[in-house]
C-alpha cells in the first residue's frame, strides 16, 4: 500500500472539522500524554491550543534538547537552474513567467561551490525548476560529481523521479531528497498546478515511497503554507510522516514550514498563518514526534528565526540565494522568491552561538556525534 491509498481513505472536510472542534480539555490531555498520537497532534494544532503556547513551547524546547542537544545544523541552497516546464501559480520559476532563464554548466557549478565553501558550509541543497528534458537525470548525474568534490552532504529538491533514477542519484552521492506536496487537498492542488508533470497529484504524493524504496537516507516533507487551510494540510503532512516512519523505518525524515513569499506573480495566500501560529505548529510537531528533524528557512525574518530556534528547530538555511549563479555571479531577476533573512552565514552563526548553540556546518551524522560526546563528557564529570 502506498500513501496514496491511505490518503484516499482520509476525508479532508471531516478532519478539518475535527481539528477545529478540539477543546481545551483535548489540548490539556495531549499535553499530559507522555506519548502522543495523531489525535493529540490534531489537538495541538487546533485553535484551542493557541492559549497553551507557553506550555507547548517549554515542553518542545525540553524534548528538543533531550534528543538533539545544543546543536544546530546549517545548510545552504544551491540553485542549478530556473528552467521549468510547469505552470504553478505561486512560483517565480513558473513557465508562464517572463523571466530570464539560466542553467549552470559544470564550470559555473564549481564556481558556486567555491563561493559557498568559503562561507564554511559542508551541507548543500541542490535546487532546480522542473524540466525533465533539459534539467533531468542526465544533468544531475553530470552535476553531482562536481558538487561532491566540495561537500560531504548533498541534498536535492528537484522534480519527482522514478525509483531507478533515485538509485542512480544515491550511487552518485545524494544523501537526502526534499519533496513537498504543496497541498494535500487535491482540488486546490489542481487549481495551482495548471500544466506540466507537476499537475499529476498522485505521482507527486507517491514520491516519498519511491525515495524510501531507492534507499535515500533522509526524506523531507512539507506543505506550502498559504495554499490551503494550514492546520488541515499540516495534519495530512503528519499522516504522511506517520505512514513513512512505520513502513520505511530505515530512512530519516525532516519537516519544513515554507510560508508563501513574494515572487514573480500575484498569488495571495488563501490561508494566512501568523508568527504565533507557526510557533504553535513547530511545537506541535516536536511534541508529537520527538525525533523528526525540523528545518526553518530564510523565508522567515531574522527576529523570528532567532526567537523560535530554541523551541524545536534542528536545522537552518543561511545566506540563501534563490537564483542560479546567486553566489558567484548573482542576477536578482532570476530568483524563485524573495527571502526575508538576508544576513550572512557568519552573522547567523554568531546569533546562533549567542543563544548557546553549537553551529554544525554538516548534516546530522556529525551533529549526533557531537551530542553524544557532550552527553558522555557530562556523565563522566558527574560520575
* pLDDT recorded at residue 336: 58
Residue 268, C-beta contacts closer than 8 angstroms, at least 6 positions apart: none
Residue appearing with cell numbers 546543536: 71
Take residue 217 and report the three cell numbers written for it.
537516507
Q: How confident is the model at residue 377 (pLDDT cuts 50, 70, 90)?
A: very low
CA distance readout (Å), 68 to 100, 174, 291, 334, 364: 42, 23, 8, 37, 9
- Cα separation, 30 vs 37, in Å, equals 9
User: Is 43's pLDDT higher than 50?
Assistant: yes
**Who wins on pLDDT, 235 or 88?**
235
Q: How confident is the model at residue 329 (pLDDT cuts 50, 70, 90)?
A: confident
| DSSP H or E run through 178 | strand 176-178
Helix, coil or strand: residue 123: strand
| DSSP H or E run through 21 | none
User: Is 180's pLDDT higher than 80?
Assistant: yes
- Cα separation, 190 vs 198, in Å, equals 10
Take residue 312 and report the three cell numbers written for it.
524545536
Global confidence as pTM: 0.91
CA distance readout (Å), 73 to 145, 168, 306, 327: 23, 27, 14, 20
Q: Using one digit for the tens of pLDDT, what is the confidence trace for 166-175?
A: 999 999 999 9
* pLDDT recorded at residue 344: 96
Judge whether 325 and 297 are in contact, CB under 8 Å.
no
Partner residues linked to 47 by β-bridges:
none
Q: How confident is the model at residue 94 (pLDDT cuts 50, 70, 90)?
A: confident
Q: How confident is the model at residue 381 (pLDDT cuts 50, 70, 90)?
A: very low
Q: Looking at residues 97-120, what average pLDDT do you find?
A: 94
Chain-wide mean pLDDT for the chain? 91
- Where is average pLDDT lowest: 14-23, 75-84, 120-129, 367-376? 367-376
User: Is 382's pLDDT higher than 90?
Assistant: no
Q: Using one digit for the tens of pLDDT, what is the confidence trace for 133-167?
A: 899 999 999 999 999 999 999 999 999 999 999 99
User: Is 355's pLDDT higher than 90?
Assistant: yes
Take residue 332 and report the three cell numbers written for it.
536578482
| DSSP H or E run through 365 | helix 364-382
**Who wins on pLDDT, 141 or 379?**
141
Among residues 51, 61, 10, the alpha carbon closest in space to that of 28 is found at: 51
Q: Using one digit for the tens of pLDDT, what is the confidence trace for 184-204?
A: 999 999 999 999 999 999 999
Helix, coil or strand: residue 12: helix
**Who wins on pLDDT, 90 or 107?**
107
Going 46 to 47 to 52 to 57, the CA torsion angle's sign is: positive
- Cα separation, 199 vs 195, in Å, equals 6
Take residue 143 and report the three cell numbers written for it.
552535476
Take residue 304 and report the three cell numbers written for it.
523570528
Q: How confident is the model at residue 332 (pLDDT cuts 50, 70, 90)?
A: low
Q: Looking at residues 318-330, what average pLDDT do you find?
A: 91
* pLDDT recorded at residue 368: 45
Take residue 104 and report the three cell numbers written for it.
549552470
Amino acid at each position: 500500500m502506498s500513501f496514496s491509498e491511505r490518503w484516499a481513505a482520509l476525508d479532508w472536510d471531516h478532519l478539518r472539522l475535527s481539528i477545529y472542534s478540539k477543546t481545551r480539555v483535548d489540548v490539556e490531555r495531549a499535553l499530559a500524554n507522555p506519548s502522543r498520537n495523531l489525535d493529540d497532534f490534531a489537538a495541538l494544532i487546533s485553535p484551542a491550543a493557541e492559549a497553551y503556547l507557553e506550555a507547548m513551547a517549554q515542553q518542545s524546547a525540553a524534548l528538543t534538547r533531550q534528543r538533539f542537544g545544543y546543536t544546530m545544523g546549517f545548510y545552504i541552497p544551491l540553485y542549478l537552474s530556473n528552467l521549468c516546464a510547469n505552470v504553478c501559480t505561486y512560483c517565480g520559476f513558473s513557465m508562464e513567467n517572463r523571466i530570464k532563464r539560466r542553467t549552470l554548466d559544470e564550470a559555473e557549478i564549481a564556481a558556486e561551490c567555491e563561493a559557498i565553501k568559503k562561507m564554511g558550509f559542508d551541507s548543500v541543497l541542490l535546487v532546480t525548476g522542473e524540466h525533465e528534458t533539459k534539467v533531468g537525470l542526465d544533468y544531475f548525474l553530470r552535476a553531482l560529481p562536481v558538487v561532491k568534490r566540495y561537500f560531504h552532504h548533498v541534498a536535492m529538491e528537484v522534480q519527482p523521479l522514478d525509483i531507478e533514477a533515485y538509485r542512480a542519484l544515491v550511487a552518485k552521492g545524494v544523501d537526502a531528497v526534499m519533496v513537498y506536496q504543496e497541498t494535500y487537498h487535491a482540488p486546490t492542488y489542481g487549481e495551482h498546478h495548471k500544466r506540466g508533470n507537476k499537475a499529476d497529484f498522485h505521482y507527486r504524493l507517491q514520491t516519498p515511497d519511491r525515495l524510501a524504496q531507492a534507499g535515500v537516507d533522509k526524506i523531507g516533507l512539507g506543505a506550502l503554507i498559504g495554499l490551503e487551510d494550514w492546520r488541515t494540510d499540516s495534519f495530512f503532512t503528519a499522516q504522511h510522516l506517520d505512514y513513512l516512519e512505520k513502513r520505511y523505518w530505515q530512512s530519516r525524515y525532516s519537516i519544513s514550514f515554507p510560508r508563501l513569499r513574494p515572487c514573480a506573480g500575484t498569488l495571495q495566500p488563501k490561508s494566512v498563518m501568523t508568527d504565533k501560529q507557526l510557533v504553535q505548529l513547530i511545537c506541535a510537531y516536536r511534541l508529537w514526534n520527538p525525533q523528526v528533524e525540523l528545518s526553518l528557512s530564510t523565508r522567515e525574518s531574522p527576529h523570528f528565526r532567532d526567537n523560535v530556534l530554541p523551541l524545536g528547530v534542528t536545522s537552518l538555511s543561511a545566506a540563501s540565494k534563490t537564483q542560479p549563479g546567486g553566489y558567484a555571479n548573482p542576477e536578482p531577476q532570476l530568483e524563485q522568491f524573495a527571502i526575508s533573512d538576508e544576513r550572512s552565514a557568519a552573522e547567523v552563526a554568531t546569533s546562533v552561538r549567542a543563544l548557546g548553540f553549537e553551529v554544525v556546518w554538516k548534516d546530522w551524522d556529525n551533529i549526533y556525534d557531537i551530542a553524544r560526546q557532550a552527553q558522555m563528557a557530562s556523565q563522566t564529570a558527574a560520575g
